[in-house]
Structure 1
Amino acid sequence: MTKTNSPHSSRRDNSPNSPAKLSGKVAVVTGGGNGIGREIARLLAAQGAKVAIGDRDGEAARNSAQALAGTLLGVDLDVTSARSYAAFLDTVEAKFGAIDILVNNAGVMWVGSFDEESEAAAEQQIAVNLLGVIRGVKLVAPGMVARGSGHIITVASASSILTTPGEASYSASKHGVLGYLKAVREELHRSPVQISVIMPAVVDTALAAGTGTGASKLLAPETIAAAVLRTIERPRFEVSIPGYLGPVVRAVNILPAALRDGLMRRLVPNQVRQVDRGARADYESQFGDHA
């Protein structure tokens, strides 16, 4: 479903990007039916981009495309399936043209003790969070390189650089994403294609329901979306949210092990102890039973 709304129906947008920067650009947002992805799609469309929302919940993708102001398309997308991803991209390119911006946002998270996690939960996190990103990059980046322009932005997590008890497989997937993108960025260093990774602390979405925030405050999806737009305007590779997080982690990591571990235990939430299982019941039903 493609829908174009009058600009008079859009909410006022206070992002730092000029409309001319994104006007007419084709942007793809995976996992865009709800939460962070939906807000990213909203801001991109408000800046004049033609935005394709992909989500495994195709109805949510189409509903968001219909509800938001601008030129948007909602399409079913399972990032764990090469066939689904290729069909999604074919649909987008047939409607809008070549893709200028890919936002890898789709993600899932199971929370609890590592030895209670089911095989299905571990496999799904790796399949969506890591292999989904790899698949998107492989399918989209070559065309961008050939055209001489493009930007791939991945919404990862602070778990890419932190150790978070209770999120072992999730952390593994996000560490993997950062490592993968570092390697791809180096391979493309002679290309004008930009690679960026956004690493937020805990965000107020269904994925993080019932989890602790540690020393950082709970972030709003709008904050992450605004960071994505700023990164398009002024490309950077690693973007941590809050901004002090990356420098603090780098500083702490040079300390002696005992001091480093003690500080991290004070700053980073232990989700094994803090998780509210009841608050996560609906979200985690997608993973099936525990091991």
Structure 2
Amino acid sequence: MKRTHAGLVVAITGGAAGIGREIAHQFAEAGARVCIGDLSGHDARVVARQLPGTVHGCELDVTDERSFHSFLATTEALLGPIDVLVNNAGVMWVGSFDAEPDTATARMIAVNLHGVIRGVRLVAPGMRTRRRGHIVTIASAAAKVSPPGESTYAATKHGVLGYLTGVREELRGTGVRVSVVMPGVVDTELAVGTATGAAKLLQPGDVARAVLDVVERPRFEVSIPGYVSPLVHLAGLLPQRLRDPLLRRAVPNQVAAVRGSAARDAYEGRRVLGEPDS
């Protein structure tokens, strides 16, 4: 057990499955006290009972101010002041930009971007008053690149990185840390049916380990794999005629990956378009 994590109060959005669940698991194993929020409060409570240590589950809709405020207030009532907020909730629609439903566009902006802004705005003032705290946001390698077929998703992740860059500077010297974790394609329901490009497929545990590590050794940007950000930076130094073919070899074309496939239909219908389960 790492003493840096033992006793920490950690709140995690989108914590009932995938990356969020694994982050909760690893924090709990390390001795932190955890509250996971998820759109399905039932799923959050079931997962909380399955994890070791002190873990609570709550209903949370990151697109609703009252719901997010209630989640944070419940966490503090149960466990004490929040030391770490992990903004993990996210959704993704994949396909050609001109086929993207307006509902999907609005949902990605509401969850991926405004949900992060809302979480930071609600939790940071208390951390600043206590002069301690850490906000960790799970963004994506799409915060640095824009895969074809993920244009709006990438726009939300670029927006998250830009927003947190400014917030980090505003919080400088207050004792509040801000970090952005940017993984490539992770083996979760969100990424089902998509391609990984030149990078290997990541597991939720890879991202969770990066989150615990950045809480132990704070820094602003964390890419997984670690070579992604340097590669993008180097590519940015090249003229466009050389940059384009390099990035086309490294970055997956998700329009091609999902063309003719129904692999994402169930996830996107339920999580992005709000269709009832069949």
Q: What is the TM-score of this pair, normalised by structure 2? A: 0.96
Structure 2 Cα separation of the partners of residues 289 and 205 of structure 1: 19
8 Å contact kept, 2:37–2:59: yes
- Aligned pairs for 1:205-220 (under 5 A) are 205-220=188-203
> What is residue 18 of structure 2 aligned with on the other side?
35
Letter aligned with residue 242 of structure 1: P
What are the Cα deviations for residues 76-130 of structure 1, in whole angstroms up to 9, with x where unaligned? 0000000100111111111111100000000000000011001110000000000
**What does residue range 134-149 of structure 1 map to in structure 2 within 5 Å?**
134-149=117-132
1:100 equivalent in alignment to 2:83: yes
For residues 226-283 of structure 1, give each alpha carbon's deviation from its aligned partner in whole angstroms, at most 9, with x where no partner exists: 0001101100100000001111110111000110011111110110111263111110
* Secondary structure of 1:21 counterpart: coil
The answer for the alignment partner of 2:149 in structure 1 is: 166
1:179-237 deviation per Cα after TM superposition (whole angstroms, max 9, x unaligned): 00000001111211110000000000000000000000100000000000110110010
1:282 equivalenced with 2:266 (yes/no): yes
**Match of 1:112?**
95
Task: Tell me if the contact between 2:36 and 2:57 (Cα under 8 Å) persists in the aligned partners.
Answer: yes
Does structure 1 conserve the Cα–Cα contact (< 8 Å) formed by 2:69 and 2:122?
A: yes
The size of the alignment, in residue pairs, is 273
Q: Does 1:221 align with 2:207?
A: no
How far has the Cα of 1:288 moved from its partner? 3.5
Structure 1 consecutive aligned stretches of length 4 or more whose deviation exceeds 6 Å: none
Equivalent residue runs for 1:222-241 within 5 Å: 222-241=205-224
Which of the residues 24, 44, 50 maps onto 1:67? Answer: 50
Q: Would you say the 8 A contact 1:54–1:75 is kept in 2? A: yes
Secondary structure of 1:28's counterpart equals strand
CA–CA distance in 1 between the matches of 2:42 and 2:241?
50
Q: 1:3 matched to which residue of 2?
A: none
Tell me if structure 1 keeps the 8 A contact 2:61–2:68. Answer: yes
Q: Which amino acid aligns with 2:197?
A: G
Q: Is this contact kept in 1: 2:5–2:216, CA < 8 A? A: no
- Work out the CA distance in 1 between the residues paired with 2:20 and 2:110: 18
Range moving further from structure 2, 86-95 or 199-208:
86-95
Matching residue of 1:273: 256
Q: Secondary structure of the residue that 2:89 maps to in structure 1? A: coil
Q: Output the aligned Cα RMSD.
A: 1.2
TM-superposed CA distance for 1:54, in Å, is 0.3
Structure 1 distance, partners of 2:234, 2:36, is: 38
Gaps of 5+ in 2: none
Mapped partners of 2:212, 2:5: distance in 1: 10
Give 5+ residue unaligned stretches, structure 1: 1-17
Which residue is equivalent to 1:90?
73
Note the C-alpha offset of 1:133: 0.3
Shift of 1:21: 1.2
Aligned partner letter, 1:71: T
Shift of 1:163: 1.7
**Out of 97, 114, 130, which is 1:131 matched to?**
114
User: CA offsets per residue over residues 26-62 of structure 1, 9 Å max, x none?
Assistant: 0001000000000000000111111000000111111
For residue 238 of structure 2, what is the amino acid of its counterpart? L
Q: Percent identity?
A: 57
Cα distance in 2 for residues equivalent to 1:179 and 1:280: 29
In structure 1, how many angstroms separate the alpha carbons of the residues matched to 2:273 and 2:189? 17
CA distance in 1, matches of 2:90, 2:57: 18
**Pairwise CA distance, 1:289:** 9.2
Indicate the SS of the match to 1:60.
helix
